[in-house]
Structure 1
């Protein structure tokens, strides 16, 4: 259990000198522990939350679809793109952290959007986030089938989709601490595997295989910056931008750690540590991983998943391609097993995040009250609704798994980018409301350096990536399927917002009326708590 402080700005206070009255009240997130409760339990420990984003985010983005980035832009473009998007992720996580530590909520990102911007914006944010993760669920289950085809190429992917879906669904119906332990173990496996793959790539590059010393051979030929769709400098820029879009998908799960904040104990300690550690871990794994990968796999290798539309086997993972090309026996099978753990962990996380988002929507009366019903602190109906979307992955029955995988990547990327926009817009409203109400940033327990400016710059580039994500559908010949897959998410996002605003006649939350004083944690209170003052 923890306590919050309530800040009551004096009606006569000015922005420069605001009087703050402190009211300490017990947090009630864990009340009603019997069946039929509507609250979640703070059963996730600091180590669970700290590793959660790694467990959920490191999956198909790095291990399989990075082959698409390499084949389109080359190793140089891929490295720069992943570094650039990594900075954007840091800015988003820091902005989210300022809000989440100050006002911990168990309603997800939609809860912040409703409280600080507009109920219609909260509804659109929540629905979009839910849709993103059920699409990612199908994406990761499809990836699991692709991996299994390495061993059993004649078995339909749908068989593996259903089999693995049953496993991850069962885990999500268990108490949250079991979910936390499962993802903690998965994150440890991922950490060891990624570090091992990076070391292996360096060993191969330095001459530890039958290929001899590779060095920067593939950076020189075919080249560090590959042409994509167009020749010369235009093609190289398009290749780079294709890598930016791909990197956005790869980093997409980094913000999902925010969904655990409502079930995290001592959020003023847990959240800052999780945000700081998450960025550095993800940056090390992703930026370091793609750098090592670019050394040992040629961007013209026809086994990369985007090099040929026929690629369906797990050998399409660029790391497995590197091992196979080096002539190392047995190891590809071991790595494939690890990759399977990766994508199933991500699928497990997808159900968790989608169900908690739906739970938050129900608590805000955006979804039927059935979805906020919990049994043993598990929102069972929300979990069931989220899990049902695994059926999307069964599109593989009639289409090639690589094709379906590509469509799901594009759709989930645009949905994820829109979620980033929601977080940043909500944060900027939050900061404006603080200024208008005369609440100084000094009261925040966690702050980022130049965070407001960083948020604005990140919002600009995120919107730019959204608008240009489907550029390939316009080059040479218009591709309607690619266009729809890349932009239908925007239409849905606008539809959620406009329809709810029209039906409920909601209004934007005014900066003066914005509720940023209820159930909050201040820096002064944390200092008092650490000194043992209650």
Structure 2
């Protein structure tokens, strides 16, 4: 009886006495407490105090009472960073990129986007290690740029993941068709099973989300490593009964490039979709035990992941699968038979691996759906805490679950049943486009927020040595990341106006495709302009910027310097390992 009673009571409101809105949004200020406490251990401090910048600009350290539970360990954050972006974008989305642009532009685009993502994640790592606050991206945008920009970015990011939820459920059901092409088991049954699975996971709160991502990432990483080894064997002619040595013949026949400059521009959006989700490490910082130590390690893994899991695997698969292979296209966006990795296994005449890849794709889609519910619910919670969403979404139970926000994401996931509609192709196309550029806007905003934060940090008299962790690329990396984000947006507008198949389009069709490709930009500007007109918000000046509220690191510069000295004294082999892991 005690177990069920405790379980029932866990749904009651969290005890958040003393917990109020962050001062930057005009909420209730926490009273300035005692003087800064003695230096505490990271885990002890994570449960003890937080910094608050009060109305008169003074900084107080007060007991922290947040409704969210800090239950994410280092292994959770590192695996979220390592496998957060590995999914249908890599396994299936790369098919359209390869067929549209050819292998050379496929690799070039992923290298460019990979460098851009490194700039973004390093900037985010610095911000989140310093300020592990709820809402992350929208919170930074409101505090460091303009409340209107924070409102627009918050709702932009929320809509991205809200829409991804039914899309991934649909993708998982379509992937099942690899084994059940005649739909002996109705698609609706599979959809309901997947929705129940994700709902059950989210009943276990942030720990449930993290443990599922840990397991899914382990499966995805092992699979990609196995695929890389297998692709090398196939290309070298090492499969008994398979093709002889292939080398780089697909780069000569049919060639390395397709559709010229338009092909190059087209793949940017595909690469962005493949990388989306990498920024979740920043969103999860608010529920992490030791963000000051954990986040830098997680951010370093991004470089390793991009080089090995994306660039290397796509380069190897492009050596085997030519861009003009008809199997790369299908009527369905998520048809697993179009995966270049599946096609490569078929070319290599390895019968069992396509089934293994398909199973991993299903795990990947469920992983993304799980992340979508987590990211959407936490973003909506943060918007409600800032007064930018209905108050009902501020509800968090005693286990740290924002139940109303989670419920909205799961209910919206029922739109996956539109797969039975005659217009499902049109509906899902619009939904996909709405979420398409959202990640690009978020990444650009992170870089801009980092530039503004650094400027305010130095203007208010602080040095970079006082930061818990500083981006290795600094402000220049964020400038490069912001510049590349803007270029990708311009490239998307260009492709929307002049698609590779423009010769086959009527004027009406071209107008439709242009608006469809840029609908997310229209939505973002609408949010921004409406908030500006209604609230009359102002651009935040550097001297007025709140760079303290939410800090959880009362560690002196001397302690930070001691930790850095210990890191420099490590053996070279350990430095190399820690630079990757």
TM norm structure 2: 0.81
Alpha-carbon distance in structure 1 between the residues aligned to 2:376 and 2:445: 16
Q: Secondary structure at the match of 2:319?
A: helix
| Alignment deviations for residues 78-126 of structure 1 (CA, whole Å, 9 cap, x no partner) | 1111111100000001111121111221223111111222222111111
* Residues 479-488 or 107-116, more deviating: 479-488
Is contact 1:108–1:356 with CA below 8 Å preserved after alignment? no
Alpha-carbon distance in structure 2 between the residues aligned to 1:348 and 1:119: 29
* Residues 121-130 or 507-516, more deviating: 507-516
* Residues 60-69 or 102-111, more deviating: 102-111
Is contact 1:74–1:299 with CA below 8 Å preserved after alignment? yes
Say if 2:153 is the partner of 1:153: no
Say if 2:158 is the partner of 1:136: no
Give the match for residue 242 of structure 1.
266
Report the CA distance shift for 1:195/1:403 in structure 2 as closer, same or farther (over 3 A). Answer: farther
Say if 2:224 is the partner of 1:194: yes
1:130 Cα shift?
Answer: 0.5
Query: Which of 25, 45, 54 in structure 2 is aligned with 1:2?
Result: 45
Alpha-carbon distance in structure 2 between the residues aligned to 1:467 and 1:392: 31
1:413 Cα shift?
Answer: 2.5
Is contact 2:137–2:446 with CA below 8 Å preserved after alignment? yes
Q: Secondary structure at the match of 2:132?
A: coil
Give the match for residue 459 of structure 1.
482
Q: Secondary structure at the match of 2:518?
A: helix
Alpha-carbon distance in structure 2 between the residues aligned to 1:158 and 1:75: 37
Query: Which of 485, 493, 501 in structure 1 is aligned with 2:516?
Result: 485
Give the match for residue 298 of structure 2.
274
Alpha-carbon distance in structure 1 between the residues aligned to 2:477 and 2:108: 19
1:458 Cα shift?
Answer: 1.6
Query: Which of 190, 205, 213 in structure 1 is aligned with 2:245?
Result: 213
Alpha-carbon distance in structure 2 between the residues aligned to 1:262 and 1:524: 18
Q: Secondary structure at the match of 2:292?
A: helix
Is contact 2:124–2:282 with CA below 8 Å preserved after alignment? yes
Alpha-carbon distance in structure 1 between the residues aligned to 2:338 and 2:277: 22
Report the CA distance shift for 1:312/1:58 in structure 2 as closer, same or farther (over 3 A). Answer: closer
Alpha-carbon distance in structure 2 between the residues aligned to 1:403 and 1:320: 27
Give the match for residue 231 of structure 1.
none
Give the match for residue 224 of structure 1.
256
Give the match for residue 52 of structure 1.
80
Say if 2:552 is the partner of 1:515: no
Give the match for residue 112 of structure 2.
84
Where does 1:485-504 land on structure 2 (aligned, <5 Å)?
A: 485-504=516-535
Report the CA distance shift for 1:301/1:343 in structure 2 as closer, same or farther (over 3 A). Answer: same
1:424 Cα shift?
Answer: 1.8
**Unpaired segments of 5 or more residues in structure 1?**
12-19, 30-38, 229-235
Is contact 1:92–1:455 with CA below 8 Å preserved after alignment? yes
| Alignment deviations for residues 511-531 of structure 1 (CA, whole Å, 9 cap, x no partner) | 211111334356953753897
Give the match for residue 446 of structure 2.
423
| Alignment deviations for residues 312-333 of structure 1 (CA, whole Å, 9 cap, x no partner) | 6421111111112222223222
Where does 1:116-515 land on structure 2 (aligned, <5 Å)?
A: 116-155=144-183, 157-209=187-239, 210-226=242-258, 228=259, 236-304=260-328, 307-309=329-331, 313-375=335-397, 376-398=399-421, 408-475=431-498, 476=502, 477=505, 478=507, 479-515=510-546
Alpha-carbon distance in structure 2 between the residues aligned to 1:191 and 1:22: 44
| Alignment deviations for residues 199-253 of structure 1 (CA, whole Å, 9 cap, x no partner) | 1111111113322221111111111112x2xxxxxxx222122222211111111
1:60 Cα shift?
Answer: 1.0
Is contact 1:214–1:296 with CA below 8 Å preserved after alignment? yes
1:6 Cα shift?
Answer: 5.5
Give the match for residue 28 of structure 2.
none
Alpha-carbon distance in structure 2 between the residues aligned to 1:511 and 1:313: 50
Alpha-carbon distance in structure 2 between the residues aligned to 1:364 and 1:484: 32
Alpha-carbon distance in structure 2 between the residues aligned to 1:40 and 1:181: 17
Is contact 2:70–2:287 with CA below 8 Å preserved after alignment? yes
**Unpaired segments of 5 or more residues in structure 2?**
1-43, 564-581
Report the CA distance shift for 1:324/1:128 in structure 2 as closer, same or farther (over 3 A). Answer: same
Aligned Cα root-mean-square deviation (Å): 2.7
Alpha-carbon distance in structure 2 between the residues aligned to 1:274 and 1:313: 32
1:69 Cα shift?
Answer: 0.7
* Residues 433-442 or 191-200, more deviating: 433-442
Alpha-carbon distance in structure 2 between the residues aligned to 1:128 and 1:439: 32
Report the CA distance shift for 1:103/1:385 in structure 2 as closer, same or farther (over 3 A). Answer: same
* Residues 479-488 or 289-298, more deviating: 479-488
Report the CA distance shift for 1:358/1:23 in structure 2 as closer, same or farther (over 3 A). Answer: closer
1:405 Cα shift?
Answer: 6.3
Report the CA distance shift for 1:400/1:516 in structure 2 as closer, same or farther (over 3 A). Answer: same
Alpha-carbon distance in structure 2 between the residues aligned to 1:26 and 1:446: 24
Alpha-carbon distance in structure 2 between the residues aligned to 1:157 and 1:370: 34
Q: Secondary structure at the match of 2:84?
A: helix
| Alignment deviations for residues 430-465 of structure 1 (CA, whole Å, 9 cap, x no partner) | 122223323222211211234212212221221121
1:402 Cα shift?
Answer: 7.6
TM norm structure 1: 0.88
Report the CA distance shift for 1:526/1:5 in structure 2 as closer, same or farther (over 3 A). Answer: farther
Alpha-carbon distance in structure 1 between the residues aligned to 2:332 and 2:443: 33
Report the CA distance shift for 1:508/1:69 in structure 2 as closer, same or farther (over 3 A). Answer: same
Alpha-carbon distance in structure 1 between the residues aligned to 2:519 and 2:96: 22
Q: Secondary structure at the match of 2:374?
A: helix
Alpha-carbon distance in structure 1 between the residues aligned to 2:334 and 2:375: 28
How many residues of Structure 1 are paired with residues of Structure 2 in the alignment?
504
